[in-house]
Amino acid sequence: MNKIKFPPTLNELLIEFADLPDWDERYELLIDLGKQLPPIPDEFETDENLVRGCMSNVWLVAEFTDAPARRINVKADSDSLIIKGLIVVLMAIFNGRTPEEIVTTDETKVFGQLGLDRHLSPQRRNGLFAMVKRIKQLAMERIAGALGPKTPDPAS
């Protein structure tokens, strides 16, 4: 983990994971990344921000910038170090992207490159996809909000 800075870019993660010969070392890297994840403020640890479908507690929020372009930054925390490491992976995939880019991102390709598709337990994999679903939901809500109110259909 000494090779990459925190937070790592997606490219840095892909290179670092590729350099590790076995899953045990990759698992340790995820734990190391989780140890570096800064906690979110206590006021974000609400039921509304709790990710459904995770066995561990995961609170996830998205901050959006409007200038120069609408971009998302995910902030999350968990009571599990391995899940915190997975949060760092998701941040590398999604942070700094527009809501439109987020909803069209194929995160499964990245999960395959990192070996997460083969080596995570079914419960952790379900939790990982629950976090992805929440991030994409927040992006969709942002897109819908940016489009403004719908005009009534005159035919109705």
Domains of the chain in sequence order: 10-146 (3.90.1010.10)
What local confidence, expressed as pLDDT, does residue 80 receive?
Answer: 94
What local confidence, expressed as pLDDT, does residue 45 receive?
Answer: 95
Q: Which of 54, 74, 90, 132 is an active site residue?
A: 54
Length of the chain measured in residues: 156
pLDDT tens, 115-153? Answer: 998 999 999 999 999 999 999 999 999 888 865 444 444
What local confidence, expressed as pLDDT, does residue 54 receive?
Answer: 87
What local confidence, expressed as pLDDT, does residue 6 receive?
Answer: 84
Which stretches of the chain drop beneath a pLDDT of 50?
1-2, 148-156
What local confidence, expressed as pLDDT, does residue 153 receive?
Answer: 40
Q: Which residues are CB-neighbours of 127 under 8 A, at least 6 positions away?
A: 51, 53, 54, 55, 56, 58, 83, 86
What local confidence, expressed as pLDDT, does residue 152 receive?
Answer: 42
- Residues facing residue 77 across a β-bridge: 59
Return d(Cα 16, Cα 114) in angstroms, integer.
Answer: 9
- 116 counts as catalytic: no
Other residues' Cβ atoms within 10 Å of the Cβ of residue 155: 4
